[in-house]
Structure formats: structure tokens, C-alpha cells
Structure 1
Amino acid sequence: MMNWEKSGLVQSLKGQVDAGTMSRRQFLRLATTVGVTLSAASVMMGLPGEAQAQTSNLPFPPSDPAAVKGGTFRVGLRVAKLDDPATYSWNDMANASRPVIEHLTLVGSDNIVRPMLLESWEASDDLKTWTLYLRKGVMWHNGDEFTAEDVVFNILKWADSKTGSSNIGLSTFSALTVETGETDAKGKAVRVPNTEGVEIVDSHTVRLHLSRPVLSVPQDFAEYPTLIVHRNFVAPFSAQPIGTGPFTMVEHEVGKRAILKRVTEMTNGQPFQYWGGEIYLDEIHLYHFESENELSALASGTIDAVSDLPSDQMAFAQSLDNVVIDSVASAATLTCRMQIDRAPFDDIRIRQAIIKSVDNTLIQQLVYPEGGLPAENHHVSPVHPEYFPLPPLVRDVEGAKKLLAEAGHPDGIQLTIDCGNAGGPWEQAVCEAIRDQVKDAGIDLAVNVIPTSRYWEIWTETLFGATNWAHRSLATMTLGLAYRSGVPWNESHFASAEFDAALADAEATVDVEARRVKMEAVQRILQEAGVMLQVLWQPVYRTFGKNVHGYHAHPARQLHLTKVWLS
């Protein structure tokens, strides 16, 4: 294992703290990213309390001595189809699967990354070579041991464009691919894994040889489509839910329910010992509700918790006596994005006219008066460590009218935006507020509300769509997934070699201030391209009964139920 006191990366980070350009909290986040344990990083910063709380090297909170074992935890959650976890496009899919299959790393509510199926990792000073050390003694439900073969199977699958996984847009896995020179049916470059980029050192050690420097490797492994499946996995997951987690799925019906039960015995007849310590619940029941009905189910005692609390139900939640409301700041958002290679949005003047006719701050205050922040149409949030503050946006209705006239629409234009309310009815409220504002510039915008499941079927195809994007702990992760040229989740079809190069430069930079400066170019390119209207950053609220313990709001809306218990 590396001597972190001698690591050039860590000394560089510590030097930034000493110089006053980085906070101790930022140091913890970045030091753990390059492989320092949270306890060791805490000691370096003189935070003995943090160090003492992390002595176990487990990603979970310490066992609660007051915890009661047993019981069934009932959660309101939209129960979706569970096919291949590598192609999950909806966070609820991962939330239903996460008690069964697990990630290599876990990013907590504090945005700090921790080892999960990995025990630790090391990064070279140039951020191109990463060594992953797997936990030993982790068992699959079928009696196989979790090994390097499982990790390599998943990584190579993600790095193959034929899989259709969004993970190929994450910097880590993008840097493990090579282009074949061919294109697929949609005209996108076909990429295959660079098999020399993934090395099995031994049964519990994997080394990644990346084609370019990447800082976000541990965070990339915590993204919701990176749940690790068995090396012999065959879809659909719901039909063969073999995992390393403490639960297995015994029932799954799309749009109705999913039932998970504790695993006590492997399929080979041997007792199953979960690697993560004590588990309190016997069963987890996930019941499908549309977001507007979840809180009523909680109030009636039908369920114990909801996965997400919409802002329009805050007053109702606050009126309930036996309910806890937990919240956390996030970079969750709604992007009203246009496909910029299709008419009429292939004319930048029309895109800019829409953007100029909207007051982002006013809509944010209307939709989320009790929280959240206005956004700036470049998908980088003030909660991200690399955020660079650009000049504030100013609404300009007359300028919007002029642009429309120049684009051949002096009398205005009719448009339609598709909205799936994936994060709740607040998304429709945003679209309707945009509709009311753009009308002043002569833009007649129809809001087409469609079922959430239907929206996720067409979200990458719709010409003008309002897409809910989850929080990521680093902005560069989201930008790589959503706007890097040719990646599966590039729903706007934005393609810019200048942007790709600027993003790659920023995500390879460890120095926080230097990375923030480099992000100015990244943010400006995206903002000036007029790809989207992105009016606000959404706070995350989670609601549950007072008898529920260990259940917390997570900025990426991930459910981590390993240490939940009921009193």
C-alpha cells in the first residue's frame, strides 16, 4: 500500500490547505478521492472525531447499540423494469436493486467517497494509473467469491458501446475505450474496450491504465448504473437477482411492488455472512406510487417512508405529527434541453431567443421558494467544488424578439416541450412558468405532459424535453455524461471538440483553484451554445415515520438501507 505522507498528490492537496486555497472539508473530499482513507485524511487535518468514526473502513455508519432487529421496512418508490443494471436510466431502478447488488465505492450524503466492494485504491501522481484493491471474503449469493474477474467483467462491459451503457460517458470508462473507426445505426462512433487498459494483478487486485488523467475514478464507480453484477450475469436482473448485498429480490412486478428478503443461506447450502456487518431488517417492501400519492400513503400508515418529497407537498408533510423531514443540498436539476442538430433548434438564434426570454431566478423562487438555487444554463452547480461564477443572466425580451425575427419568425414561433415529471409535479410547474414567460417574446410553448415511464423511453429522442438529472459529486462527471461528443446520454446532440478538450483538461487537474479557473471555459462554451434552459438547482427532501432510523436524505437520491432499523 502507498505511503500517503510521501504521495505527491496528497502533499499537493495539503499544500493548498496550508496556503488557504482549500478548506479542510475539501481536503477530505479530494484526499479520499485519490485513495487516502477518511480516518487518515482526518488525522492529517487534525480532525480526530472524524478519524475515530471511520476506523472500521466500512462505508456505513457504525452499528447503533439501540437498534432493534427484525421487521419489514415499507418504502414508496416507483417500481420500474429491472433489465441490465449497466443500462439503468432511472435512479429508482438502482434504488430497488441496491440492497442486492452493490457498488465498488459509495458517496455519502456528505459527498465524500468511501470504499465499498473495494477495500482501498491508489492513484499515480499523473492520475492515469489506478490500482484497485478488492475486499476479501465477500461472497455472492450463489456461493462464489467476489474476485477481480467480476470487476473486469463489468468494466469491459461498460466500456463497450454495444452495451448501450451511459457509463461509457464517465471519464474513467471513456478513458478505457478505443474507437474502431466504424459508426452505429445512429451515426455514433463505435467504441470497444481497450483490453490492455484493465489488468488483473491478482485475484483481488485490478489495475487501470487510462488513456488520459482522470480525477473522478472513485466517484465514477459510485454512479447508479455501476452496480456490480456477477461475472456470469445474464439479463434481466429481476429474473436472477444474484448479488453480494444482504438482501435478495423474491418478487418484482413493474408498476406494483418489489419484495426483498434477507439472505441467510447461499444457494450452495452454506450460511451467508454479509461483509458489511450487522443488518437489522428482515424484509424491504417497495410499493409503487406516483409521487403525488406517496405522502398520503405515509400519512395513512400504508408505508413507513417515501423516497422523495416533492416541494408542492411540503406543507402537507409539515402538518403530520409523526413524520420526520430530512433535507440535503444537491446538484439535482431539470434541463429543458433542445436537440441542436434538428430544426428549428439547429438555428442558435431560436435557442438563444428562448433563453433570453426567461428569468431563471424568478422561476426558481416561484417553484422552490423554501430552498434551491437559480441555475445558469451550464449544468455546473455552486455546490460543486469546481464551480466558476459567471456573470448573472439578465432577461431580455426585446433581444429575444429580435433574434426570432432574424431567424425568420417575426410573428413568433410555436413549440412543444415534453415533460415526464420524473422528479415530481414541480417539473411541470417549471415548464409552465417558462411557457408563461416566453409568451412575452412571441413564443407559443405547449407543455406536453406524459407518463414518467413513457418519458424515460423517449428522453434521448424527443426534440425538446425536460429531463431530470441527478446530483453528481463532481460537475465534470455530469458534463461528461451529458455533453461529451457521442456519449449515450448526450440527449441534446451537442458536439464540440473545444468543449471536450476543455472538460478533459479540467477533470485532470487536482489543484482546486486551477480546476475552477479551467471550468470557466467549460461553462462558457456550454452556456453560449444555448443548449438548454436550466433554471434551478433542486434541494432533496426525504420523509419518513419517527419509528424509522438510519434513513437519510442523499443528494443523488440514492437509497442506502443497510443500517435502517425500526423501533
Structure 2
Amino acid sequence: MTHETTRIHPAALMYAEEEKAGKLSRREFLARTTALGVTAATAYGLIGAAQPAQAGGHAQQGGTIRMQMEVRALKDPRTFDWPQIAYFAHGWLEYLIEYNNDGSFAPMLLSSWDVNDDATVYTLNVRPGVTWNDGTPFTAADVARNIEGWCDRNVEGNSMAGRFAVLIDDATGTAIEGGIEIVDDLTVRLNLPASDISLIAGMSDYPAAVTPANFDPENMLGNPVGTGPYLPEGLEVGVRATLVRNEGHDWWGYAEGKGAFLDRIEYIDYGTDPSAWVAAAAADEVDMFYETTGEFIEIIEGIGWERTEIASGASIVIRPNQLAEVDGMTPYADKRVRQAIAMAIDNNVVLELGYNDRGEVARNQHVGPMHPAWADVPRIEYNPARALELLTEAGMADFEMDIVSIDDDWRKNTTDAVAAQLRDAGFNVKRTIIPGSTFWNDWTKYPFSSTDWNHRPLDTQILGLAYRSGEAWNESGFANAEFDALLAQANAIADADARREVMAELQQIMTDEGVTIQPYWRSLYRHAKPGFVGWDMHIAYLPQMYKVGLAA
């Protein structure tokens, strides 16, 4: 369904009836229909609802915002592994599509798209009139080149390859012949060898920033060619990064009423201790937090700052790495050890101690009720006595498990809660806490550690990124041919009710194999001092600072 025709994808009409009957949440309905190419306005119309007003509608032009945020080094966007990198780079490197808090996918550098009935052909319509900030027209060739780059498994750390696996030739690790077709200057067609419902969602994720021809990731600051409204003024890792309005660029978004209200955006790094952020707020050194967690939510409101919050599929995993070697052995390759770890942990306790009960308990499957095809599969039983028996059967009762985490608030507290319960069950556990400045360098390689994961709108997305064999972000070392085949099967089923049968099998494998401890789903919070608009906490941490402005 394109954004410029009257055709409504047949599935969208079915989803509208399901939403009206209470079988779908509003967010699920919008995600499903807009992923097919239905505009958000049309989707709301199908269910007789009014589309909410755009954030930032009452903003004034100009001004500066100072945002507390970890400032990380730039690198090839395909290898971005934390949204904070994208918050800086998105000032000039934009996205084809964006995902919004209401669940809808909206066009950015694309003007529209069309997905055929079995999700094997995607037609991408490039927004006319867009230029790179060096004056070069933005065309279908740019879109095709970026998608081809996303499909390159030979680029180390390229997580976009996991999102576009259906278009990749396993023999070469690159895009299949004929898969990416330039139809004309403003049209790209993706010809898939099998159905895949997840590509639009994948294009909206933060590593999908669109780069120019001859892009050099080693010289992103020296040659910041992009389509966005800002330019980088400076970057000092761990200290500060600044974006300033590109006065010489006729940004396409101005004519579309997209915003880019601020003249200047400053990201200031105060480390991982939230008490330092609160001190900066009290001293009027910052205007907004990237995120607020734990007890600091009440503390920051005590000085008069405002709150936004949203329930999400964001989470944390405390996972053993099945491939990791420790003293010449692979302690977590044994399924009994992994099952024992899961059986020793009460996720209710982890949520309470680790995240102040600000979320919902999860089942270690990394698929939840917020996902369209979630299946009601029980977690492995909580049984600490049996857990120690399993560990003993595996010959690992005396083995010291060293669990690593970052030195922040909620991630450290969550990992502490897991370690304490393992000790209570009789496990030999050591805790190692590493500064954030070094923790992230090898986050996928620790034998046993915790990592936070963002919300993704589709149930198959996170399973593909984190648990499919050989993916760049597969930190658990999990490799299971049956799981991979079922995941491909699930990605080919557009109807969530039909997909749920396959999802139940996938979730059961996650449980039986003891792949990870994924204890809860997080509610997300952000605070800012009064006087700003358009700064709502994003459900998936996606960078949309063009919506932020000073209140008119």
C-alpha cells in the first residue's frame, strides 16, 4: 500500500476489525498496518479515531538544549550498538523510515512504500526534492546502495545484516542477485526469495542511518555529508558532543513541517552515576536527561522537573555465553548449567530489587505480551534446590561464575540481584563491575554478563538480532539450526495469530535451552525542566531530536 494511492492492503482491513473487536491493542494495529504502507492518518481513519497532533506543534524556532547523555565514539552506522551514538549522528545522517510511540511507521527519506500481499516484494518510493547537504540530489541509487551495504555480512559488527538476512546470499555474505532493483530515480524494488514481514521495522532501527556515496566512517566529523538539518560542531568522547543548525542546507523537513526547531543541541556526559546527573540538573547545567531510572525518578521530580514515561519491550539480559572459554573449558555450553541458572532465579525479586518494580515480570524468552504473536508459554520452574542438583550433575558445583556488569544504577542492581539469588541457591558466584568507558568495548564476549536491550515492535526482530546463529549481536553464543529455521518460518507469516503457533515453538526452545535470564520488561522514563516540548521518552530510544523545541 503506498502513501499516494487509494488502495488499502487487504490485511489492514482485517487488522482494523480486530482492533475494533478488542483483539489488537492500538499500538499493535498501527504497527501492523503502517508497516504495510498504510499512512498513519489512514490507519487511524480505519478504526474511526483521530490522529494525535504532532509533537512539537507549539514550539518556537531557535534556542539550545543541553542533554545529559553518554557521549560515545562515532563509527560506521551499520555497527552502531548503542542509541547514544545515533543521537549525535542523526543530526546529519537520517533514516528512510521512523517508528513512533503510537506504534506507527512513518516516512522520512522515503515518501511511501508498498508491500505485496505475501511480503515478497517491497516497493520503496524515495521522497522527491531531498538533497544531501553538499547539494547532490538524494535518489533511488542512494537507497539501493545503503540497502546493499546493510546486506554485507563481511563488515564486522554489521547488525543490519541480521535485519536483512532474507536478502543475503549465504555463499557470499552479500546481497542476492536481483534482490535490490532500481526502477527509476525515485523507486527501489526489493525482490525477496521468501516472505519477510520485518524489513520496514528493520529500516527504522537506529543502525539504519543513511550514508552518502564514498562514505568514510573514519572521517565522519571531517566530512559530515548527510541529509539532516544539523552539522557536528565537535565531539569529545566521554565529555561532550554538539550539533548546530546547518544554515546553508535547505532541509526537506522544513517544508514538511517536521520541526528541527533548535539551533543547538549539546550532549553532556556525566558518567553512569545518576546522582551526578541530578547534581548537574540542580546546578542548572543540563535541561534534560537521556533517561531517568530507579530512585532518581522521585529525586529529580523533587526539584521541579517534568516526567514522561512509557511501558515498553525494553529489557535486560543476564546471559551466559555458550562459546566462552574459562580456564580451558566452556562452562556454559552444558544445557544443564544454563537451566540451573534459570531455575535459581525468581524474576519477581529481580524486578523489585533491580528496577524498583517499575515494569512487568518476563519469562526469559525475550518475547512478551507487547508483541503481536506472543504465545503464553510458561517459563522454566523456579526451583533453587533442583537448580543446585542440575549444577552438581553437570560437575560444576564448585565452578566460580564471574558475572560482569556496568557500574551504573539499575543494570548493576539487577545483576546484583541475580548473583545474590544464585549464591542463595548454593552457586559459587563472583561479581565484577566495570566502568562504562571500558565495559562496552567487548560487550558480546564476556563469559557471563548483563546487557540492556531496546524495545522492538515485532516478536521476530529481537530473536533474529540476539539469538540467530552467528549474528553480530548474538552475545549468548546460542546456535540452534531448528531455532533458525523456525525463525525464518515465523518471519514469513504476516498474520500474528497464525505466526503465534511458530512463536510458541521458538519461545519453548528459549526456555528448554536456558539461553538467557531475561527477567522483566521495563517502563521507561525521561525528565526535563519545564519549558520544552516534543521530548517524550521514545519507546525504543530512537533519536528524534528534530521534534524537540522550546515551548512557544
Aligned mates of 1:225, 1:430 — CA distance in 2: 27
Aligned to 1:282: 263
**Alpha-carbon distance, 1:238 to partner:** 2.8
Counterpart of 2:78 in structure 1: which amino acid? A
CA distance in 2, matches of 1:77, 1:114: 26
Work out the number of aligned pairs and report it. Answer: 538
What's 1:316 paired with? 299
* Matching residue within 223, 226, 229 for 2:211: 229
Within the alignment, does 1:116 sit opposite 2:108 as a pair? Answer: yes
TM-score for both structures, normalised by structure 2: 0.93
Q: For 1:550, which of 523, 534, 540 is the aligned residue?
A: 534
Q: Distance in 2 between matches of 1:295 and 1:221?
A: 35
What is the CA–CA distance in structure 2 between the aligned matches of 1:46 and 1:227, rounded to whole Å?
34
Specify the alignment match of 1:484 in structure 2.
468
Question: In the alignment, does 2:333 pair up with 1:346?
Answer: yes
The Cα shift of 1:541 comes to 0.5
In the TM superposition, residue 409 of structure 1 has moved relative to its aligned partner by 3.5
Q: Distance in 2 between matches of 1:239 and 1:480?
A: 35
1:42 equivalent in structure 2 = 44
CA-CA distance at 1:9 after TM superposition? 3.1
SS in 2 for 1:150: helix
Q: Are 1:149 and 1:231, in contact at CA under 8 Å, matched by a contact in 2?
A: no
1:157 is the counterpart of 2:149: yes
Aligned to 1:174: 165
Q: Distance in 1 between matches of 2:454 and 2:295?
A: 19
Secondary structure of 1:133 counterpart: strand
CA distance 1:399–1:272, change in 2 (3 Å)? closer
In the other structure, the counterpart of 1:426 is 410
Q: Percent identity?
A: 34
Displacement of 1:248 in angstroms is 0.8
Alignment correspondent of 2:191: 209
Provide closer, same or farther for how the CA distance between residues 416 and 132 of structure 1 changes in structure 2, counting only shifts above 3 A: same
By how many angstroms is 1:256 displaced?
1.2
Query: Aligned AA for 1:154?
Result: N
Match of residue 224 from structure 2: 241
2:399 corresponds to 1:413? yes
Deviation string 1:232-254 (CA, Å, 9 cap, x unpaired) is 21113233222111111121111
Using a 3 Å threshold, how does the CA distance of structure 1 residues 476 and 348 change in structure 2: closer, same or farther? same
Superposed displacement of residue 566, structure 1: 1.8
| Amino acid across the alignment from 1:46 | G
Normalising to structure 1: TM-score of the pair? 0.91
- Asked whether the 8 Å contact 2:294–2:356 carries over to 1, the reply is no
Tell which deviates more after alignment, 73-82 or 16-25. Answer: 16-25
State yes or no: 1:197 paired with 2:179.
yes
1:16-72 CA-to-partner distances (Å, cap 9, x unmatched) read 45776445553332111100111112222222x22xx58xxxxxx2662x4322211
Name the counterpart of 1:255.
238
What letter matches 2:81 in structure 1? S
Paired residues of 2:8 and 2:38 also in contact (CA < 8 A): no
2:78 corresponds to 1:96: no
Structure 1 gaps of 5+ residues are 55-60, 181-189
Corresponding residue for 1:146? 138
Q: 1:13 aligns with which of 9, 12, 15?
A: 15
CA distance in 2, matches of 1:217, 1:253: 34
Q: CA deviation at 1:272?
A: 5.3
Matched ranges for 1:384-463 at <5 A: 384-410=371-397, 412-421=398-407, 424-463=408-447
Is the deviation greater in 21-30 or in 526-535?
21-30
Q: Give yes or no for the alignment of 1:367 onto 2:350.
A: no
Counterpart CA distance in 2 for 1:153 and 1:234 is 14
When residues 273 and 314 of structure 1 are mapped into structure 2, their CA distance, relative to the original with a 3 A threshold, is: closer
Q: Once superposed, what is the RMSD of the aligned Cα atoms?
A: 2.0
What's the CA shift for 1:279?
A: 3.1
Alpha-carbon distance change, 23 to 561 in structure 1, aligned in 2, over 3 angstroms: closer
- The amino acid that maps onto 1:263 is N
Give the 3-state SS of the residue equivalent to 2:170 in structure 1: strand
